[in-house]
Structure 1
């Protein structure tokens, strides 16, 4: 794409805030929310009110299928004892339907219009550039590329990518993210956008990180990683290269990782969603190496080794409880 195109994305609440809004909406409709706590959440950030309004709008479109799902689940039992947990699981399904539809509705069209290369969920795609560089895109990733005479420019809209950049001092290689910029001449590094942060992990060469605010800058050495966030550039720290680059070998690698983080990672590679119904389960530790092209096997290993159960609500939703 050329420099005269507008790569900006529409201003809207980020995915994490939208997910919070959906959670509040679901709890309010189930009469399981503290009204004062909800009002405090609304007042804490002007984006919260906008996100809640979007969630309400989408819920109006999805309320009928959600009710049908709840009625189907509750209708499978005649005992009062079972109604409340099943209603809760159906509500979780409705929440995930809303989240999935909402995030697609808000983000995907704008990103697709601006992107040159996109991977779907579960895909991994290498891209060879004219200068000899290679970018490998992980699951659900979108980038735009502009190879100009005075510089090489990439914009990472979402997802994760591995960069193997060919040296060319006369044509700097820059990668822009919503949180800041990575600038190199020749190097190898991993870049991932998640939860409002851009994680940069360097294995070879040097990279300069520039935050979204003036004066925010950091140079990374091999073996160091840092985050670009709305608050600035984090201090450098060592990283586990085996774990960070595992996706290039089609692997998940977990070392005493909280279940909540493991589930979030598995969800990146699956068209459906796994949700954790009980907070007490979120900190259970998981260790192991699994295949990214078979997230179902990873889920089965987790349910076989941890003290929890899995209930499949639809073809796209599994609830851990």
Structure 2
């Protein structure tokens, strides 16, 4: 628990506490208890929430400077290695040196509250930002539609055409009659020759949905075969059971929509946060368990804020940087 013996709402004390919370939440060791305590800290007053938002924004602006520092260090490291080895380094070797060259790069690898992309996302071959989707022709018979805030890199796996979905979501259409197409995501991979499928990588979990044809999902020695309308998740817990899903919900993003069928408000807010700048923070855990059945246009996602306010009588607090507190 982070506390201070300074007077309540003392600006200096609040800023110190906000910075301590930011360091704790981005340390990689934060627990659910920490998250609950942080919510309670923010709820003490508007000043608490505003101060944390200001500290977050300062860190947000500083990450670009950190990347520049890392880049300078990388250039020196690459120059030294080039001089000693006499060979040119490829783009990935250069970027790898950037990570090792400066501890400042760690601020990009572990962004607070996921308000900006991690370093592996920033250095991918293809990357989309908020509000941007992109179609990539991998080959004459294979294309990838990349969703917003997604990162994709070209890979080689023993002669097969392959890409790595570093983060985000992609819809893949492949009609290769000769060799399979491989999508690597997390510690697993999806393989298909003639199929239309969707892969989503949320850093900790990967979700694969077969929309047409047949795909093979491999992870940790386990294998699942998916056919039309089937889906499987995998992550640190292993490969889950195959389930049947509504493809309309899975592919709605390609039509500029988000569709929710009996989802918790917690889950809806989490999904909406992928698509809008800033962050919506749900401060009321009981409210987060409410069920939502709704559709939203991706270019009008603040409609969810009005829905929560009007339907659930929630309090809305707007902060700088697109941060919205719902309580």
TM-score by length of 2: 0.68
Within the candidate set 236, 252, 261, 1:230 is matched to: 236
- Render the CA deviation track for 1:22-45: whole Å, top value 9, x for unaligned: xxxxx52469xxxxxxxxxxxxxx
Matches of 2:55 and 2:291 in 1, distance apart? 26
Matches of 2:142 and 2:322 in 1, distance apart? 37
**Please, which runs of 5 or more residues in structure 1 have no aligned partner?**
1-26, 32-50, 57-69, 74-82
Aligned equivalent of 2:47 = 87
Does residue 126 of structure 1 match 2:86? Answer: no
SS in 2 for 1:209: strand
**Please, which runs of 5 or more residues in structure 2 have no aligned partner?**
6-22, 29-40, 64-105, 111-116
Distance 1:299 1:203, change over 3 A: same
Matches of 2:324 and 2:260 in 1, distance apart? 21
* Aligned-residue offset at 1:90: 2.8
Distance 1:92 1:30, change over 3 A: farther
TM-score by length of 1: 0.69
Matches of 1:245 and 1:98 in 2, distance apart? 36
- Render the CA deviation track for 1:270-309: whole Å, top value 9, x for unaligned: 1200001121211122221110122123322332222212
Alignment of 1:1-321 (within 5 A): 27-29=1-3, 52=24, 55=27, 84-90=44-50, 93=53, 97=57, 104-106=108-110, 108-113=118-123, 115-146=124-155, 150-168=159-177, 170-194=178-202, 196-211=204-219, 213=220, 215-321=221-327
Contact 2:57 2:321 in 1 (8 A): no
SS in 1 for 2:273: helix
User: Relative contact order (C-alpha < 8 Å, sep 6+): which is higher?
Assistant: 1
- Render the CA deviation track for 1:54-103: whole Å, top value 9, x for unaligned: 539xxxxxxxxxxxxx9xx9xxxxxxxxx942234235526855896687
Matches of 1:30 and 1:91 in 2, distance apart? 15
Matches of 2:260 and 2:107 in 1, distance apart? 27
Q: How many residues were matched structurally?
A: 248
Distance 1:285 1:91, change over 3 A: farther
